[in-house]
Amino acid sequence: MSRATKAISVLLVLVLVLGIGAAINRWRLVTGSGEDLGRLIIFHAGSLALPVKQICEQFKKQFPGVRIAREIAGSRECARKITDLAKPCDVMISADYAVIDALLIPDHADWNIHLATNEIVIAFRADSRCAEAIDKDNWYEILMRDDVTFGRSDPNLDPAGYRTVLTVMLAERFYGKPSLADRILGKDTKYIHPMSADLLALLQVGELDYIFTYRSVALQQRLEFVCLPDEINFKDPAHAQFYSRASVRLTGKTIGTFITRVGEPIVYGVTIPKNSPNPQLAAAFLAFLLDAEKGGAILEQNGQASVVPSPTDTFEKLPESLKMFALPASREDRP
């Protein structure tokens, strides 16, 4: 059978099953044909700025009729745009899967797929104060110096912000330094910004000497950085029990409510919100994003190791086309 004949056969089946209009839309999405496949709105974490840009560029090569609009913010701020401002969103990619669970499910989303991992580091310039001396054993002493400045992001807007708080809380235990967390978190508070990506410019122009950020961001920006011990960097699942000894209080779903985020290994998450204007196109994008040889490969190249497929307790609510990228959660997988 020729390729043309096969194509016609597929289209005829789609016409019978889906109806003429739906079949034509599906045909255009699969082949990338048609003048306009619609607009895809993506909200995503600042730490994903470069890889998502690259993934979108590759997706558009396969589907040239797609128009993509990206909004970059701290993951909790992205979620607030959906819950509080009712802004339309086709794809929400969070630096912490728990943001989707806590703020979007069940009212604004039905499911959550775990995407990638990362770790907290301290990034700096080659000419930052004490750059030649800082290491994984003395970083807290360097940051506490009066002549040194450092920045972090807002815990209520950005997962990197509350992971920084959790990191220094664990550091107090790990190094056996009473009151260390309070001392670090009480210093340089004027340099707390909405998301960790905002701190890059201040670091690069010399206003800051150091920033708490993700290892992937430091690699992408070619920054110097200190790798913290695995016991406090939220990288290694083997240390999950120790991570859980730290917790932070964050704003909840509605004004005046609060939730507690307990430390655990870093895992990014992704969903299609219920208010998605173009859920079919969103599902096609996620299939591209989650494919190990497509979006997954780009994430890996940018320092964000894939965890696809991973267990999710929302597996039964996933679209059928995306179930291959996740696993049903067992009782042991649930918190």
49: domain CATH number is 3.40.190.10
The answer to whether residues 172 and 245 belong to one domain is yes
What range does the domain containing 5 cover?
1-31
The answer to whether residues 11 and 89 belong to one domain is no
* Residue 165 covered by a domain: yes
Q: Are 208 and 124 in contact (CB under 8 A)?
A: no
The answer to whether residues 192 and 272 belong to one domain is no
The answer to whether residues 132 and 224 belong to one domain is yes
Q: Which of 249, 279, 294 is the last residue in one of the domains? A: 249
Burial code (b: 16+ CB inside 10 Å, e: under 16) for 141-179 equals ebbeeeebbbbbbbbbbbbbbbbbbbbbbbbbbbbeeee
Instruction: Kindly report the pTM of this predicted structure.
Output: 0.88
pLDDT of amino acid 149: 98
The answer to whether residues 245 and 132 belong to one domain is yes
CA atoms of 105 and 111, how far apart (whole Å): 7
* Residue 260 covered by a domain: no
Q: Are 66 and 38 in contact (CB under 8 A)?
A: yes
CA atoms of 284 and 268, how far apart (whole Å): 19
The answer to whether residues 140 and 167 belong to one domain is yes
The answer to whether residues 65 and 173 belong to one domain is no
pLDDT of amino acid 34: 53
The answer to whether residues 242 and 134 belong to one domain is yes
* Residue 262 covered by a domain: no
Number of structural domains found in the chain: 3
Residue among 267, 247, 328 nearest 101 (CA): 267
pLDDT of amino acid 330: 78
Q: Which residue has the tokens 């401002």?
A: 85
The answer to whether residues 202 and 323 belong to one domain is no
Q: How far is CA 204 from CA 190, 224, 265, in A?
A: 17, 11, 29
pLDDT of amino acid 247: 98
The answer to whether residues 284 and 295 belong to one domain is yes
pLDDT of amino acid 15: 37
Q: What is the block-wise mean pLDDT of the chain (335 residues), using blocks of 10 residues?
A: 45 39 45 72 96 98 95 96 97 98 97 98 98 98 98 96 98 97 97 90 96 97 97 97 98 91 98 97 97 97 96 96 94 54
CA atoms of 167 and 303, how far apart (whole Å): 20
Residue among 313, 217, 305, 269 nearest 93 (CA): 269
The answer to whether residues 71 and 9 belong to one domain is no
Q: Are 83 and 107 in contact (CB under 8 A)?
A: yes
